[in-house]
Amino acid sequence: MADKITKDMTFFEVMRNFPESVKVLQKHNLGCVGCMGAQNESLEQGANAHGLDVNELLKDLNAAVN
């Protein structure tokens, strides 16, 4: 398992390996838990699709899991 979340990880991978990430995703209005795209979509792809800054998302995610 990775020790840091990166932009190329899928949402599913992040949620599976870092359960505490779900609250951060919800904070950013990302409904990844119920989204079919979560299995294949990278954090970068999802952030871009939702108009979010992937670096800010990564910062929040990694702060929550460390």
Q: For the whole model, what pTM was predicted?
A: 0.88
CATH superfamily of 11-65: SP0561-like (1.10.3910.10)
Answer yes or no: are the C-beta atoms of 9 and 25 closer than 8 Å.
no
Q: What is the pLDDT of residues 10-25, one digit of tens each?
A: 999 999 999 999 999 9
Q: Would you list the domain boundaries of the chain?
A: 11-65
pLDDT at 1 over 70: no
Give the pLDDT score at 34: 72
- Tell which residue, 35, 36, 43, has the closest CA to residue 13: 43
Span 5-61, pLDDT tens digits:
999 999 999 999 999 999 999 999 887 767 777 788 999 999 998 999 999 999 999
> Which pLDDT belongs to residue 7?
97
